[in-house]
Structure 1
Amino acid sequence: MNLTITLIALNVIVSLSALYLDQRIFEKGLLRPYRTLRSQTWYEMITSGFLHANFSHLLVNMFVLFFFGIVIEQTLGPVHFLALYFSSLIISSAPSLIRHRDNPNYATVGASGAVQSVLFSYIFIFPTEKIMLILLPIPIPAWVFGILFVLYSVYEGKRKTGNVNHEAHIAGAFWGVVYMVLFVPNSVDHILTVFGLL
């Protein structure tokens, strides 16, 4: 729980400072693939994850991180939790780096990719637990929510409307599951047991 609160505090401090105190923090830390690849500013893959486009963007991400991060931190332990979070910042940045590498005007910020990794690692560990959305207050199994979320993200990503980085969401969700399979012992046996396949 301590690491989750620390990550939330860092996100809040850095994001609000960039939004309301010094715009240079925002410009220096955001992920601009054109700049990142040409100037080798790889740190942007991490720093952009501690910046948010506006207060509501920050609030939603921190709300999700609080509720699922605490559980994942307690379940996996601090080392795996931090490894998952920071590796997902990098993994979820990769699609933007590739797709927008030649677009000098494209930039992205937000902890969404890392937050989705935390959320989907939760879904992987607790697939039958119920998740309820604020806009749709009907409890549904976590694994059903996961499928619906990915389908929605793919659909919205293809529409290419708005400024939400759906590619980062999908990559983060994917990495949350892959991390569990590759690095957390017995995770595959666990999921097979939950669904009565082992």
Structure 2
Amino acid sequence: MSLTPVNLLLIAITVLVSWMAFNNRALYDRLILWPPAVDRKRQYDRLITSGFIHAGWQHLLFNMITLFFFGGQIETLMVRLTGSYLTYPAFYLGAMLVSSLPSYLKNQKNPNFASLGASGAVSAVLFAFILLSPWSIIFVFFIPAPAIIYAAFFVGYSIWMERQGAQGVDYRAHLAGAAFGVLFMLAMEPAIFQHFLVELSNPRLNLGGG
């Protein structure tokens, strides 16, 4: 496995900050995405800091395990394509920001809405991987599935749940993160789209990154 220092650092920071927030309500309240605080107090940093805290250990571990298995591969590719270790953190933090914006804009005046977690950014990483290897087998809650099938289910389910007005999960952030992951990869290297089409037209199942 290639050394992926930035991805490992992001995981370490997220685990540390989440753990601190578990034990410090004031820190938790300051970092969470609460739209009125952004709107009234101009605390725009919450659009990103909310991605470094989680609702509990299960939420944190699911995101960080996914990031561990897929983030390293995306970081390695981005370093190879751009020659810079700054591309991947820019991608990850950009995904946090972009995935937070739709929910913030919709709930800008809503004091009852709050959002947290790295799921939007992790969705960006996962969909960037799916763009590269659509037929890889990935494990979702220990259930194996081709990555492209998971992607279709993920998008469809998230749209459906969002339209149902489901509470407790920010499906809008998941969708925005996934879209950002795909668009960033294509903007960085347009040839990836042709690679995706070739891969998609040649179904073959193989073990993926997670």
TM-score, structure 2 normalization: 0.87
Q: Which of 89, 93, 115 does residue 86 from structure 1 map onto?
A: 93
Is 2:181 the counterpart of 1:179?
A: no
Q: CA RMSD in A?
A: 1.6
The answer for the alignment partner of 1:5 in structure 2 is 8
Name the CA distance, whole Å, in 1 between partners of 2:51 and 2:126.
16
Q: Which of 93, 105, 110 does residue 117 from structure 2 map onto?
A: 110
User: Which string of whole-angstrom CA distances, capped at 9 and with x for unpartnered residues, describes residues 153-175 of structure 1?
Assistant: 11122222331111101110111
Moved segments of 4+, more than 4 Å: none
Deviation at 1:49, TM superposition (A): 0.5
Q: Which of 11, 14, 17 does residue 14 from structure 1 map onto?
A: 17
User: Which string of whole-angstrom CA distances, capped at 9 and with x for unpartnered residues, describes residues 117-136 of structure 1?
Assistant: 0000000111121222225x
Deviation at 1:193, TM superposition (A): 3.1
Equivalence map 1:59-78=2 (5 Å) = 59-77=61-79, 78=85
Deviation at 1:4, TM superposition (A): 1.2
| Secondary structure of 2:112's aligned partner | coil
Is 2:25 the counterpart of 1:23?
A: yes
Is 2:106 the counterpart of 1:99?
A: yes
Deviation at 1:194, TM superposition (A): 2.4
Q: Which amino acid aligns with 2:194?
A: D
Name the CA distance, whole Å, in 2 between partners of 1:84 and 1:106.
26
Name the CA distance, whole Å, in 1 between partners of 2:93 and 2:121.
7
Q: Which of 171, 183, 193 does residue 166 from structure 1 map onto?
A: 171
Deviation at 1:185, TM superposition (A): 4.5
Q: Which amino acid aligns with 1:149?
A: F
Is 2:43 the counterpart of 1:36?
A: no
Identify unmatched segments of 5+ residues in structure 2. 80-84, 203-210
| CA shift in 2, pair 1:196/1:153, >3 Å | closer
User: Which string of whole-angstrom CA distances, capped at 9 and with x for unpartnered residues, describes residues 101-157 of structure 1?
Assistant: 11012111100000000000000111121222225x23x321111111111111122
Deviation at 1:196, TM superposition (A): 5.0
Identify unmatched segments of 5+ residues in structure 1. none
The alignment of Structure 1 onto Structure 2 pairs a total of residues equal to 194
> Quick one: percent identity of the two aligned structures?
36
Name the CA distance, whole Å, in 1 between partners of 2:133 and 2:200.
11
Equivalence map 1:43-62=2 (5 Å) = 43-62=45-64
TM-score, structure 1 normalization: 0.92
